[in-house]
Amino acid sequence: MKNSSLSSLTMRELHRYLGFFLVGIMSVYAISGVVLIFRDTDFLKKEKDISKEISLNANPQELGTLLGIKGYKFIKTDGNISYFENGQYDASNGIARYKVKELPFIMDKMTHLHKAKSADPLYFFNIFFGFSLLFFVISSFWMFLPSTSIFKKGMYFTLAGIILTLILLFI
């Protein structure tokens, strides 16, 4: 019995202090997660004019790759000017002018942290954060004694949450 209460106390302390430690990053992930839901809209985005010099007489079909524009859509060419969605390219001087919509600086940084890949320098922090969240899930079962009514009610909520998750995954 003593071992059981010691492990319960240890899990509760780890849960508590890790929770306090991760308040900042959990806030970032919560806010950026909500903003990322609207990434296919212009929500919070500001329009920015860009002017880039690229090679002369570039192929208008390849401008998207040269300029790094996702979803590039070529429209037409009129003389030396090639038109594409949100911009144009002058083949005679190699200047491309176009508009992009970007999130404000701090929100952009938050969403980039949220979407980090293994090539990003701080990807290991995202792994740590992911495992910390998994620890929160597991350690929450040590918050209350299994014989208490609150724990039993918690099991019903756990079951409901798992069912809801399965429904959301498969619809």
Q: What is the pLDDT of residues 46-85, one digit of tens each?
A: 999 999 999 888 888 888 888 989 889 999 999 999 999 9
pTM summary value: 0.76
Question: How confident is the model at residue 59, as a pLDDT?
Answer: 87
Tokens of 129: 């954060």
Output the pLDDT for position 55: 86
pLDDT band at 145 (very low <50, low <70, confident <90, very high): confident
Give the SS3 label for residue 46: strand
Laid out side by side, the sheet with 81-84 consists of: 46-53, 95-102, 87-90, 81-84, 74-78
CB 86 within 8 A of CB 42: no
| SS3 (DSSP) at 62 | helix
Tokens 């979407």 identify what position?
115
